[in-house]
Amino acid sequence: MKQVALIFPGQGVQKIGMGLEFYQICPEAKAIFDEADTICANGLTKVIFEGPETVLTSTAYCQPAILTASVAALKSFQAHPKSRNIFIKFTAGLSLGEYSALVASGAISFSDTLRLVQKRAAFMEEATQEVKGAMASVIGFDKAKLIEICQETGVEVANFNSHEQIVITGHADKVSAAIGMIKVAGGERVIPLAVSGAFHSTLMSSAADRFAQILKNVSIDSTAIKVVSNVNARPQEDAETIRQNLARQITASVQWAASIEYMIAGGVTEFIEIGPGKVLKGLMRRINSSVVVHNIEKPADINSLAL
């Protein structure tokens, strides 16, 4: 039996209509959307399916929407006979996607996870009001040189997405200074990101502290499926570690490339990306192009899976 890892995308993949086909034909997926509507009580499903985009991308909707659409796709896959042909050894998600991964592992219920994501989004948004932050994606630039520039300017690394793509974060003026130094040093692809703050940086410390208090009251179960943490690219073995890592994740660098490499070293030969878009498949080509990545974004993707 193949050893497979389930991986889930993070913020930025949202689009109007995501998950609609699952909602229409799969009772398990419809139940997830209905549960989300009850918990959020803000017409989440209608916004996901119909927009407008300005509302879907807002703080109150975006993170809960991506989680809900991803878990609906997951439940549809789990209800399909093809899911019985694989052994899921690991699951992981990019930033926000780690919450979908925790649901997939059985560590936290969907309802509790959705409530956590609501709080996370609100705390992070409030932290952005405290100081003006910024982020930028740096592509194809020497990693050691980039870290040196970060240290010199006081900027931090938000994401190690692949060996070629690293996202920097911090005070807006410091990020601007770092971008200038990167370009002087020969960096040709530096893309400022349209975000409201410096996510995955110490500027989010107030959000992390508040979130840690919320996590104390969440029920977390042990599970046979290991969730690889964004914080250290290692499996989270117990409830207390999961709590600590979820709080730390708000300020820590996302170790996505190292997480993928850990799972491959652990015997995974195929990945299934579940949720909107194919961002993680694109990153995988830059991390290790020899592994297979399947995508589940709509029901037809499950039917065509060659597992």
In this structure, are 165 and 32 located in the same domain?
no
Residue 95 is among the residues annotated as catalytic for this protein: yes
In this structure, are 187 and 83 located in the same domain?
no
Query: Domain range holding 16?
Result: 3-128+202-303
Provide the domain count of the chain.
2
What local confidence, expressed as pLDDT, does residue 237 receive? 80
For the entire predicted model, the pTM comes to 0.96
Over residues 241-250, the mean pLDDT reads 96
Pick the more confident residue, 32 or 223: 32
pLDDT tens for 73-99 read 999 999 999 898 889 999 999 999 999
In this structure, are 280 and 233 located in the same domain?
yes
pLDDT tens for 9-45 read 999 999 999 999 999 999 999 999 999 999 999 999 9
**Three-state secondary structure along the chain?**
CCEEEEEECCCCCCCCCCCHHHHHHCHHHHHHHHHHHHHHCCCHHHHHHHCCHHHHCCHHHHHHHHHHHHHHHHHHHHCCHHHHHCEEEEEEECCCHHHHHHHHHCCCCHHHHHHHHHHHHHHHHHHHCCCCEEEEEEECCCHHHHHHHHHHHCCEEEEECCCCEEEEEEEHHHHHHHHHHHHHCCCCEEEECCCCCCCCCHHHHHHHHHHHHHHCCCCCCCCCCEEECCCCCCECCCHHHHHHHHHHHCCCCECHHHHHHHHHHCCCCEEEEECCCCHHHHHHHHHCCCCEEEEECCHHHHHCCCC
Which one is catalytic: 70, 95, 100, 105?
95
197 domain-assigned: no
Which one is catalytic: 70, 100, 162, 200?
200
26 domain-assigned: yes
Confidence of residue 1 (pLDDT cuts 50, 70, 90): confident
Confidence of residue 115 (pLDDT cuts 50, 70, 90): very high
In this structure, are 108 and 61 located in the same domain?
yes
Single residue among 192, 219, 243 that ends a domain in this structure: 192
- For residue 85, give the CATH number of its domain: 3.40.366.10
Residue 201 is among the residues annotated as catalytic for this protein: no
In this structure, are 40 and 123 located in the same domain?
yes
